[in-house]
Chains A and B, each alone.
Chain A
């Protein structure tokens, strides 16, 4: 399996600076090359009118089937509200030990919660979310260290409390995964 690079594929409009900064942060964290790509998909097929959200289970399967063919780790970047049937919303999800994940920026901006816009905070949150989902694709499970990026987050406040980095234990696990591959 070629694990020499990570693909970040944006579906929808994102600022070029945001994507570049994100790619830089991911590269720094996982020490692998990061490719930025644009993906095109008709999102209306994944829209659930009763919930007025997008079905994350079907989206991740589509990204896996149509955009992960080069066998690198792939994260689909979305700016729509994601859900899975059992939960009211998700920030993102990934296949544990797989090669695909998705992450949405929809619930990460301050404006969503009635606060002033802050691009730095927004970027930090999104970077953490993408690094978190990538961690799952490398086989990392949720971590109990409060500052570790692999800590489970159900609210943006939870995301704000953690660092954009793996804790030493998760880092060791990640290094083991790399040596096994």
Chain B
């Protein structure tokens, strides 16, 4: 037996208690007895029993009342009621009240063994189900977060840590790093996963539109408000609301948002009825909120209300070792969606990708692979399919110094900060490389 099942016997007849006690003890169960319902309930307050075997007819509180009270303490408790032939109707009532089964006294030894075996099976199935749920949850919706680098492992670890809590989360990271994927992964692994994840792209909406979008509006609240409309906070009831580009919202919206976050109550635009919604908030930004608070462009109280937990999603250039895995993932993804056989990638093209700085991060890499599959020969992605040169020209870096700094950093990361190998790749001596690192303040 994997786990020692515990049984509580509740019967006012001593001979019945003793008989059952001996029978179950010989079977290797952990057994406890109570002579009345009151004692049984007091035992149940301090101890968990897997199976409760209770007589229906007892002086004082009867078995049915005890069953109802047990179900209030532990709704999934397995209660088997024992009854005499004359009280089968009561046993049926017990089943309606949530008893697992009933037996009529005296019972056949085999019936008793079967009953306990079935109940034990139910317990182990429930436990197995719970374990499987945990396993499924631990894997859910993180498949898009590809990588084996320490940086991405830390992000996954952070997701696992915060998912089960109800705390607000701010996800920071450059544009295209996958902040929304992180938000989805947090939601999918949280107890709110069976309820909606509602995303709002704050940067794409004007103040009045965002207000209507978040809080909803009543019919006639403004020109064009033809119908009552639920807001995103209302839609996210019991679930999660994801506010992307939170740094772009106006000062007025910051105040409104703070109020909602604190009270979880709001009024639709043009309405007068207060609406409650139980949501968890996850925000994302590619800007430094802390310095915005210092500059006075973002409210400090809202910052602390939102930034309970911070998850930093590293840019792709800080996890270059993930590029081959990401390339492979995107090739499979787009070949499948285009109904094609997965194409290969030329080693030189892959090497070139690994050396690229990807200012647009994973999103840029994804678009690059999609394009290469579309324009390529359908068998192999080669250098000419990748718009790398064009990307460099379009790079936002303008100064030569900045370009040099980024290039040195990229090479250092590529060679895992091995100065000798990095200097050799850069075709400079070690002293020059050290001087450059010092000049640009490059740090690991």
A binds B: yes
Is B15 on the interface with A (CB-CB < 8 A)?
yes
Is B109 on the interface with A (CB-CB < 8 A)?
yes
Task: For the complex formed, measure the closest distance between the CB of B243 and the CB atoms of chain A, giving whole angstroms.
Answer: 57
Is B76 on the interface with A (CB-CB < 8 A)?
no
CB–CB B28/A142 < 8 A = yes
**Of B26, B27, B28, B108, the contact of A87 (CB 8 Å cutoff):** B108
CB–CB A155/B15 < 8 A = no
Instruction: Kindly list chain A residues whose C-beta atoms are within 8 Å of the C-beta of B107.
Output: 86-88
Task: For the complex formed, measure the closest distance between the CB of B199 and the CB atoms of chain A, giving whole angstroms.
Answer: 54
CB–CB B25/A96 < 8 A = yes
**Of A57, A85, A94, A155, the contact of B106 (CB 8 Å cutoff):** A85
Is B73 on the interface with A (CB-CB < 8 A)?
no
Instruction: Kindly list chain A residues whose C-beta atoms are within 8 Å of the C-beta of B109.
Output: 87-90, 154
Instruction: Kindly list chain A residues whose C-beta atoms are within 8 Å of the C-beta of B26.
Output: 93-94, 96, 136, 141-142, 152
Task: For the complex formed, measure the closest distance between the CB of B316 and the CB atoms of chain A, giving whole angstroms.
Answer: 56
CB–CB B27/A86 < 8 A = no
CB–CB A96/B23 < 8 A = no
**Of A85, A88, A141, A155, the contact of B25 (CB 8 Å cutoff):** A141
Instruction: Kindly list chain A residues whose C-beta atoms are within 8 Å of the C-beta of B22.
Output: 84, 93, 95-96
Q: Which of B19, B27, B108, B112 has the most CB of A within 10 A?
A: B19
CB–CB B15/A85 < 8 A = yes
Known A-B contacts A84-B19, A141-B26; A152 and B113 likewise in contact (beta carbons under 8 Å): yes
Is B150 on the interface with A (CB-CB < 8 A)?
no
CB–CB B28/A154 < 8 A = no
Instruction: Kindly list chain B residues whose C-beta atoms are within 8 Å of the C-beta of A152.
Output: 26-27, 113
Is A180 on the interface with B (CB-CB < 8 A)?
no
Bound CA span A152–B15, Å: 22
CB–CB A86/B19 < 8 A = yes
Task: For the complex formed, measure the closest distance between the CB of A33 and the CB atoms of chain B, giving whole angstroms.
Answer: 26
| Size range of the chain A interface in the assembly | 20 to 34
> Which B residue's beta carbon lies closest to that of A58?
B15
> Which residues of B, 9-27, contact A by the 8 Å Cβ criterion?
13, 15-16, 18-20, 22-23, 25-27
CB–CB A87/B16 < 8 A = no
> Which A residue's beta carbon lies closest to that of B109?
A154
Task: For the complex formed, measure the closest distance between the CB of A85 and the CB atoms of chain B, giving whole angstroms.
Answer: 4
Instruction: Kindly list chain A residues whose C-beta atoms are within 8 Å of the C-beta of B112.
Output: 86-87
Is A83 on the interface with B (CB-CB < 8 A)?
yes
Task: For the complex formed, measure the closest distance between the CB of A157 and the CB atoms of chain B, giving whole angstroms.
Answer: 11
Task: For the complex formed, measure the closest distance between the CB of A158 and the CB atoms of chain B, giving whole angstroms.
Answer: 9
Q: Which of A90, A152, A155 has the most CB of B within 10 A?
A: A152
> Which residues of B, 94-117, contact A by the 8 Å Cβ criterion?
105-110, 112-113
Is B1 on the interface with A (CB-CB < 8 A)?
yes
> Which A residue's beta carbon lies closest to that of B29?
A141
For the A-B complex, the count of residue pairs with Cβ-Cβ distances under 8 Å equals 61
Bound CA span A93–B20, Å: 12
Q: Which of B20, B25, B82, B109 has the most CB of A within 10 A?
A: B109
Instruction: Kindly list chain B residues whose C-beta atoms are within 8 Å of the C-beta of A176.
Output: none
Task: For the complex formed, measure the closest distance between the CB of B84 and the CB atoms of chain A, giving whole angstroms.
Answer: 12
Task: For the complex formed, measure the closest distance between the CB of A151 and the CB atoms of chain B, giving whole angstroms.
Answer: 11
Bound CA span A49–B27, Å: 30
CB–CB A144/B110 < 8 A = no
- Using an 8 Å CB-CB cutoff, how does the interface string of A125-146 with B read, 1 for contact, 0 for none? 0000000000010000110100
Known A-B contacts A57-B19, A141-B27; A88 and B106 likewise in contact (beta carbons under 8 Å): yes
Instruction: Kindly list chain A residues whose C-beta atoms are within 8 Å of the C-beta of B28.
Output: 141-142
CB–CB A85/B108 < 8 A = no
Known A-B contacts A57-B18, A141-B27, A142-B27; A86 and B106 likewise in contact (beta carbons under 8 Å): yes
- Using an 8 Å CB-CB cutoff, how does the interface string of B63-82 with A read, 1 for contact, 0 for none? 00000000000000000001
CB–CB A144/B1 < 8 A = yes
Task: For the complex formed, measure the closest distance between the CB of A40 and the CB atoms of chain B, giving whole angstroms.
Answer: 25
Known A-B contacts A141-B25, A152-B113; A88 and B16 likewise in contact (beta carbons under 8 Å): no
Task: For the complex formed, measure the closest distance between the CB of A75 and the CB atoms of chain B, giving whole angstroms.
Answer: 15
Instruction: Kindly list chain B residues whose C-beta atoms are within 8 Å of the C-beta of A84.
Output: 15, 19, 22-23
Instruction: Kindly list chain A residues whose C-beta atoms are within 8 Å of the C-beta of B106.
Output: 51, 83, 85-88
> Which residues of A, 81-116, contact B by the 8 Å Cβ criterion?
83-90, 93-96
Bound CA span A86–B105, Å: 6
Bound CA span A144–B113, Å: 13
Bound CA span A173–B112, Å: 27
Instruction: Kindly list chain A residues whose C-beta atoms are within 8 Å of the C-beta of B25.
Output: 96, 141
**Of B18, B19, B82, B113, the contact of A154 (CB 8 Å cutoff):** B113
> Which B residue's beta carbon lies closest to that of A60?
B22
Instruction: Kindly list chain B residues whose C-beta atoms are within 8 Å of the C-beta of A85.
Output: 13, 15-16, 19, 105-106
Bound CA span A142–B28, Å: 7
Instruction: Kindly list chain A residues whose C-beta atoms are within 8 Å of the C-beta of B105.
Output: 85-86
Bound CA span A154–B116, Å: 14
> Which residues of A, 52-95, contact B by the 8 Å Cβ criterion?
57, 83-90, 93-95
Instruction: Kindly list chain B residues whose C-beta atoms are within 8 Å of the C-beta of A155.
Output: 110
> Which B residue's beta carbon lies closest to that of A132?
B26
- 14 more A-B residue pairs beyond the given contacts A85-B19, A142-B27, with a C-beta to C-beta distance below 8 A: A85-B15, A86-B82, A86-B105, A86-B106, A87-B19, A87-B106, A96-B26, A141-B28, A142-B28, A152-B26, A152-B27, A154-B108, A154-B109, A154-B113
